[in-house]
Structure formats: C-alpha cells, structure tokens
Structure 1
Amino acid sequence: MEEVIVHQETHLQPLQNPRPSSMAEETASMSIYRASRTIKRRQSSLYNSLRSIHEDSIFVSEIAQLWPELPLVANLRCGLWYAKKFHSNCYFKSTDGHTNNLSFNTSRLNLHVAILAGQKGGCMIVDSTRKGKRFPDSMSKTIPIWTCVLNRAIQKYRNKINTPIDELSSSSSQWDSSLHLPLWVPDTEKSRIESNINKWVNQLEESGADISSISSLLKKPLRPLWISQKTVIWLNEVPDYNSWDFTPIILISSSASNDIYRQKTSSEFSWSYIAGAGDDEESWARGLTPLLFWNNVYDLINSGPDLCNQKVADFVEKDRVYRAQRGHNAPQISIKPTKMEIKSSSHFQDQSLEIIMENGDSGHLIYWLGLTNLAVCATGYEFKAFDVDCVLNCDQNKDLCTLEDSKAHLHLPIMNSKFDRFSLQRNLPSALHFAKLHLKRGKRLAVCCNNGEDISVCVCLAILISLFNVEGVYDDGKSFKETQITKLDMRQRLIFVCKYAVNARPSRGNLKQVFNFLVGATY
C-alpha cells in the first residue's frame, strides 16, 4: 500500500488578453504577496470550501468502510470537517514535523490514541493539507516520530521489568521499534530524526507518562500506513488488519491533489475545488461548525454558490438562538470584511469545536481528573447532572452557571493569551483561593471555559500543582510550599491532566503564564 509519487513539471503560460478589470486596478498598487492572497481569498468562497469538503468526505467514507471495525479519529482541527461521525479526536501538529522544528512534544502526547489502537487493533486518523502536498507534515513526520518513540519506550519498559516480548505479543516474536517514514521524506531528514529518537524516548520517560498501561494494551508495535486519493487499493485484495504483525495507524489524507481536478461542474452550477478546505476555519466558515455542517449538509450543498452564504447565516443564527435558550454558550457571530470588502473573509470569537461520538453525544464532555474532585469541561452544562458542587467559570459569558447557590460559583472572564498576555496570570490568585475554599471541604469543582480545551486546562493545572501533591492527593498546598516548581514538574502534571481530558489543547502563551505565576506565587 505504498504511495507512488508522480512528479510533473508545470509551465507557467502568460495570460491571454488580460481584461482591464477592477481586480487589476485593485491589485496594481499591492505587493505581489498581497495580490496573490487577495485572489486566493476570492477563489476560496464559502460554497467552494463546503463543496470541496463534501467531495473529499466521500473518499474518507470509502476508506473507512474498508476496515469498519477500526475507529475513525479526527486530527484537530481540520480533520473534524471530513466525516459526520468520529470515534474520537487527536492533536498532532504539523509544526512538530517541520524540517527545522522536528520535535516530540510532551504537551501533546495523544496517549489515548495509542490506548484506543491497542483496544481496537488499530485506528484511522483523518487530516488534510492545503499546500500542494499529498500529506500534511503531521502525517509525514509528526505521527511516525510519535509511533517510533512509543514503540521504543514500550520496548525499554518491558526490558526493564524483564518481560519477554513474545509473552505479550501472540503474533510476533520480535518488537519492531524502527523508524517508519514515507518514501518521500529524504534520507538526510530521516537520519536527523533517527539521531533524536532516543533523546525523545528519555523525555517521554521523564514526563511521567503511563507507559505500563499502553504496554499492557498493545500486543503489536504501532506502525503508520499512508492512504491518499492517489493510493491504489484493489478492493478484492483488502488485507485483514488482524493478519499484520503490527498495530496499524492508518493515516488518511482527505485532500485531492490539484492535478486531479480543479474545476467541477454539476447539472446546475460550477465550483472550484480547494484542497484542504477545512483548514483555518476562522477565515471562511462564518460561524459554521463541523456538527452544524453535517446536520444540514445536503441543504447547503444543493443551495448553490449564490444562496450558500445566506443559508449558512440562517443555520448559524438558528443554532445560536437554540443554544442561548437553553443556557448554553451562544456568542453573537460577527462577520468582519477586509478593507477591500471581501465578503468571504470572516472573524468570529468563541466558536467551539464539536465532535459526534459513536453514542451520538456531543464531544463536549466533563472530564474528572482522577480522584482529585477536579474536572475540566466546556461552559453551558446542567452541572447537577454531573454531581458538581461548585463551578469556576473562566468564560467571557457570565450567565452560564446553572447552580442554585451563588456562593458556589465564581466567574473569572479570562481572555486568551493572543488578546491579553497576562489575563490568566492576573486571575489565578482568585481562582486558587476559590478552589482552595471548596476543595478543602471535599467539594467537587468543575473548571470550565468556552471550549474546555485551553484556559480551563491551564487553571486546573495551576490548582493541581498548588494544592495537590505528586500523587494527586489534596494537601492544602503543603508540598507546593516545600518545593521549587520546574518546567519538568509542569510537564508531568500536564500529562496527568491530558490523561483524562483528552481534548486538552493548552496554548503555549497560557502555559507560560501559569509557570510565571507559580514561580513567583506567594499566598
């Protein structure tokens, strides 16, 4: 199932009879970069994006049906658009696989993916790319690095406890811990990655990650396989994944190469294909979420380019009113055109990512962090249903608490580090005082923010380090006062949080604020 890369030369032809349009006049005074961006935005209309996503989703569905027993996982955020239902999601960043930034990031371990693969015998991960590549760097390098590091860490762990590999693997007497990269990664880069693997294994061990649990679940080593729209698969010879001597991580790149097709025409209207259309949703989606798209997909696709924008606006507003009436997070969507009045450019805040799980529930769940009486979640819940005693609301919206006792609710409107570099740091003293007041009484505290993925995770991290010992037992801050917090301590506690809150995606700016606060905290 190897990818065959076809290199084609392209020759730029001069434009024939260029018309003196207003676009030419507009771009005359622009730099080449700005002009190209302007043209690209005009082509990337909302309808073109949604139609391209729908077209690519058909391919994803076909591949998913080849191995229906394997769970389908979306790589946030782009991958969420390409299927109606996902078993779970993950967060492998392409930047971790960039040539000059190769890394194994312990803030994004995605250990739940390895556990899921061990339980189900493998999994499929969906993503896409805009950049003319067949696969994003997250699939070409980030995930292969991840599988290799985990395999070697498991092998090292089993050697340490003197457990023969063949006792744990019924189908393979040898544990493959070698680096598996796709053919298009050059040998020089492969050598550079290989030279860092053992260092990354040590970092994984130092982080305190639960290697033993993964080792007990994985009977075969992890190994990536790559499938794109140019992959040739003989349907009468689809292999049984149980017959492989490894646990497959099947990487599905939903994007079609631009040389497959660019302009599409239906019986009613034509549209332009956009590779990786689901990426950078803030710039085109106009408040539409993957869940809302798939709930109305045929209505949107059949509306055509002329009516699509209005259809989306209607669905987004209807959904906002529906959630607002039920006390859920429902910010007003604002569309902000550029100076050139490019209507397809949009800006909106507080859009939450949603995912449809196999049980039909929204991916917005409440995650209890072990036995700490501390939970991470998104705003807008009937907290009584989750046996919550008190709520620390870090959302901008203060009217999302459903607890009757006002003393059991604290609202701290913390802004993201992109908008205020010190907002979280300023509010942490109040957050810790509130948490200490209730946790010492054995109360169950839920910390929530807009999406339950960033600010609330960072607040919980600060609470865990400040009020709990390394075993996760509440000690009223005794262990915190006796030790000097290091970045390694931060990393280890964050991995503990991510073990339970699998949707956690704390930003670097917010984590930096937590560390700066803890290093200088006096209370």
Structure 2
Amino acid sequence: MSSPQFPTRLADLTLNDSTHNPSLYASLRSIRKSALSIPNRLSSILDDTRFAKEVSRHYGFPLVANERCGSWYIDPADKVGSAYFKSTDGHHGQWAFSSRRLNLPLLPVLAAHGGAVIVDSTRRGKNLPDAFSKTVPIWVTVINRALFPEASDMHYLQSPPPPDELGMSEISQIEARLDEFTEAFRNLGLDLESLRMELGRPISISWAINGFFSTGQHYQDPKAVERHGSLSSSGPTFRHIVLCSASRRVRGAEISEGGYIQGAGDDSEGWSHGLTAQIFWQYRELLMQCPEEELPALIKALVEQDHSLSSITEVTKVIPTSNINIAGGLPETLEEFDLILSCQGDEKGSTSRLVSLNCRSGKLGSKDLRDKLPRTVEAASKQLAKDPKSQILVTCSTGKDIGIGVALAILCLFYNDQGQLREPSSNVVFDKQLVKQRLAWITCSKADANPSRATLQAVNSFLMQRP
C-alpha cells in the first residue's frame, strides 16, 4: 500500500513544496553554513596567524592585537599588548579621533621596541579594515602633530597602498579636520611633554596585507620614503607601526576556497558559542581535534570551566589620583579599600563599606546608572569627607563599562585637574569637556576601558543637572 504522504494523482502534486523540492536558496544557504563551520573558522584563524607571525619576524617588532578581532590571530606568548582602533572612526564622512579610545598605552610599546605590528582582519570583499586604512592614520597624524609640532613633514595623513589607497577627495576632507582633532586632543589636559619624552620620535606607518606582502618588500607611504628614506634605512628616525591585515582576500564565495574563511575571527559573537580568543589559544589542540558535531558541547564546557576558574582582573589605579581604583568583579580581599562601589552586587548586601548598586548589564545597566548615581556619589562624598585619602574601589562585571561611568562621575565631582581632592568651595563648570578630560585619565590608566555611549550619556545627564 502506498504511503499517505506519497501523491497518487496529478492534482496531489505540489511542485513548490520544499519538503519534496528544496529551493535553490535553501540549498545554497545550507552549503554556505557548512563552509562557515566552526572548524573552518578556527583552521582559517590558524592559517592567518602564521602570516602575522611572519610579519613580526620580518620587521623584528612585537605583535599587538587590535581588539577584539586581533587577539584571535596572535598566540598569547607573542602578544605584548592591545589597541582599540575602531573601524567606525574611519567610516566615510564620519572620520574621528576618539577621546574614548586614546590608545596611549601603545606609546611605551613603540618606544621600547622601536615599533609594533598591529594585527586585525576584515571580512570578505576588502583587503583592509577601515581601522587600518583611516582610523590609525588619523590617530598617528594627531599624535605627531600634538607631540612633535616641529616635525611638520610628518603632519600629513599617511595613506595605504594600492589598490586600497584613499582618493584625493577623501584625503582632502580628512586633512581638513586634522587641526580640529589635534586641538581636541591637546584640550584633554594630558601631560604632552611627558608623552613626547616617552615616545621619543614621530610615528611612521607601513602596511602588510596578506596576499600582497612578501618578506623581501613592504609598503610605506611614498611621502615618507621621499622625505626620510625607507623604513629599512631610516634607522632610529621614527617609531614604526606596521598594520598587518591578517586575512587574505576572498573574491568568490567561501565554498570556492576549500574551507578558508576571510576574517574568520570577526564578529565572533555570531558563531563562537561563547568561545573567546583566550580560551581558543589555551585549548586549541583539543578544539582542532574535536569532531564538528561535538564542538558546541566542548566549547560550552570550556567556557564554564574558564568562568569558574577566572580570577579578579587586575585592580587599576586611576592616575593622577592616588586613591580611585577600578576592577572587574570583587577581589578576594577587600581590606585595603575603605569603600567599595559594586555596580553588579545585590543591594540587599550593602553595608557602610560595600555599596551594591544592582545594575544590569549592557544598555539596561546604563539606564539603571541614571537612577543609582546619586546614591553612589553620596557614599563617595561621605567617605572622602571623613578621610580624603580613602582608597575607593569601583567594580562592575567587566571593569570596562558601568564601573567606568561611576568612577568618571566621582572624578568629575571631587577631583581637580591635578588629581587632588577639590576644595568644597570650588566653582566648577560641569560640561562635556570636563567629562572628556577625566575620561582621558581613565583610558590612559586602563587601556581596555570602553564605556558605552549610553553610560557616558548617563554620566553627562547626571552632571549637567547639578546646580
């Protein structure tokens, strides 16, 4: 007897039924999903890692990750630091020098090693991320102008190589904004002379692009070569940044690349099942040997294990103050702190020494911050009035966002430009410029501090409403 599912008459035939005749789109989507599998991504990352290491050996410079993507392409044993150059600051018409991402911890790395290879990648369709074609060149130009005003021949925008060179119109539009960017950096109130002495020399850029780079050659902006010679012959004239685009460009579909995925480490939240670059490198052999169907379960187990074993992130003191500290989570011992402001703790657990704010994570936490800041500020004010030298610790789950907002509000309200406790009678104008200056203290002290726009808006709103 025939199955009731099987058509026995012409009228029963349904040619567009996807269960009998899957669409071409569905088939292609299935093939593409297979090509973009986790094993292919991890294998592609390891392939690109070899290129980044080759560039590092060629120049003799250490590797720095442009977070968050860059850390996937660097063995932690070879990594000396991180940078936070965002492609959005280089998008056409939105060019910016970010006061939230000053990247000044990169300066001592450049001074100590003479240069650094900054690693990032981009997905299919491009050779360079916008961070490397425009954001970093803008940053370098501002640093050169602000710290070395006499080196006028290094005040131009250094441009990437063909076929990724910038058009003359875009270069002109960016250069028209460079004076404004430089002035904004100067107005942050940082000790520029100390930064100048720390860096020592202006910065020059070269690019190393997977698929174009060979150890026998490199690309540097022709203007720099014309004025000062090539990197290999310039000796100690400059600090050198090599922008390494780790992934080779894929021009067709991923299925034509034998499993290779360009920019496999990019936007990892969408494919990693919680796997981080740190966990990947710690367990890469185990992960690469695991059958694909068992990978999600293995990743889940490794992530849970990492969370259970993870320790407190390092407590960071905000310079130039001597008593405001930031961390992620709570340290095992709290004896050295006179007041702890915990953004994620349960308010029921609050004491005179531990103030828990119970802020949620993400944008919801930033929204909570608007309501919790008055209580937080009051606790800090009372403690500092009792003892101006009180050690205050501000914590949140990551130490990068909500807690940064709390520390920022305290710095604006109670500390002068020298990092000393302000006199109660002082007349202070609470404006966005003050917020930018105090945020610069935090980002110079803690390189990975990255408060969201919503968090900064909460702080601005709170401060501007004060009499």
Normalising to structure 1: TM-score of the pair? 0.75
Q: CA deviation at 1:42?
A: 5.8
Displacement after TM superposition at 1:300 (Å): 0.5
In 2: Cα distance, 1:515 partner to 1:37 partner: 46
> Residue 198 of structure 1 aligns with which residue?
179
The 3 A distance-change label for structure 1 pair 483 and 248 is same
SS, match of residue 201 in structure 1: helix
Q: Is the 8 A contact 1:374 1:460 kept in 2?
A: yes
Instruction: Give the secondary structure class of the aligned counterpart of 1:491.
Output: helix
Q: Does 2:322 align with 1:382?
A: no
8 Å contact from structure 1 (residues 81, 278) kept in 2: yes
Q: Contact 1:468 / 1:475 at 8 angstroms: preserved in 2?
A: yes
Structure 1 pair 252–282 and aligned structure 2 pair: CA distance change class (3 A)? same
Partner of 1:391: 340
Q: Does 1:446 align with 2:400?
A: no
Q: Secondary structure, in 3 states, of the residue corresponding to 1:282? A: helix
Q: 1:60 aligns with which of 49, 52, 61?
A: 52
In structure 2, the CA distance between the partners of 1:26 and 1:96, relative to structure 1 (3 Å rule), is same
Deviates more, 1:97-106 or 1:137-146: 97-106
In 1, are the aligned partners of 2:369 and 2:455 still within 8 Å (CA)? yes
- Tell me: CA distance 1:489–1:131, structure 2 relative to 1, closer, same or farther (3 Å): farther
Task: Kindly name which structure, 1 or 2, has the bigger radius of gyration based on alpha carbons.
Answer: 2
Partner of 1:31: none
1:73 and 2:54 are equivalent in the alignment? no
CA gap 1:388/1:185 in 2 versus in 1, 3 angstroms: same
Match of 1:486 in 2: 431
Name the structure 1 match of 2:91.
Answer: 98
C-alpha deviation, 1:22, in angstroms: 8.0
Q: CA deviation at 1:221?
A: 1.4
Aligned to 2:3: none
Q: 1:411 Cα shift?
A: 1.3
Aligned counterpart in structure 1 of residue 197 of structure 2, from 216, 221, 227: 216
Q: Is the 8 A contact 1:148 1:177 kept in 2?
A: yes
Question: What does residue range 223-302 of structure 1 map to in structure 2 within 5 Å?
Answer: 223-234=204-215, 243=235, 245-259=237-251, 262=254, 272-302=259-289
State the distance in 2 between where 1:264 and 1:383 align. Answer: 55
Q: Which stretches in structure 1 are left out of the alignment for 5+ residues?
A: 1-17, 29-34, 160-164, 166-173, 266-270, 330-363
Residue 242 of structure 1: CA displacement?
6.9
Give the letter for the 1:314 counterpart: A
Aligned to 2:300, the other structure's residue is in SS state helix
Structure 2 vs 1, CA of residues 369 and 236 (structure 1 numbering), >3 Å: closer, same or farther?
A: closer
- How far does the alpha carbon of each residue in 1:356-375 deviate from its partner, in whole angstroms, 9 at most, with x for none? xxxxxxxx322101233011
Q: Give me the whole-angstrom Cα distance separating, in 1, the residues matched to 2:231 and 2:315.
A: 38
Question: 1:123 aligned to 116, 123, 135, which one?
Answer: 116
* In structure 1, C-alpha distance between the alignment counterparts of 2:217 and 2:159, rounded to whole Å: 27
Work out the CA distance in 2 between the residues paired with 1:264 and 1:302: 24
The one of 334, 345, 355 aligned to 1:410:
355
Native 8 Å contact 1:498 1:504 kept in 2: yes
Between the aligned residues of both structures, percent identity stands at 30
User: What amino acid is the match of 1:203?
Assistant: A
Structure 1 pair 23/475, CA: closer, same or farther in 2 (3 Å)?
Answer: farther
Letter in 2 for 1:54: L
Secondary structure at the counterpart of residue 407 of structure 1: coil
Gap runs ≥5 in structure 2: 1-15, 219-229
> Does structure 1 residue 373 correspond to structure 2 residue 364?
no
Superposed CA RMSD in Å reads: 3.2
Deviation sequence 1:404-451 (CA, Å, 0-9, x none): x95321211223452355211111112112222333322211111111
Greater CA drift, 429-438 or 256-265 = 256-265
Partner of 1:428: 373
1:188 aligns with 2:186: no
CA distance in 2, matches of 1:430, 1:217: 40
Q: Describe the shift of the 1:376–1:424 C-alpha distance in structure 2 as closer, same or farther (beyond 3 A).
A: same
In structure 1, give the amino acid aligned to 2:278: L
Paired with 2:234 and 2:391, the residues of 1 have a C-alpha distance of 43
In structure 1, what is the equivalent of residue 126 of structure 2?
A: 133
Contact 1:92 1:138 in 2 (8 A): yes
TM-score normalised per structure 2: 0.83
* Aligned with 2:414 (options 455, 467, 471): 467
- Asked if 2 retains the 8 angstrom alpha-carbon contact of 1:436 and 1:476, the reply is no
Deviation at 1:92, TM superposition (A): 0.6
Distance in structure 1 (CA, Å) of the matches to 2:33 and 2:462: 41
The Cα shift of 1:511 comes to: 0.2
Shift of residue 233, structure 1, vs aligned partner: 2.3
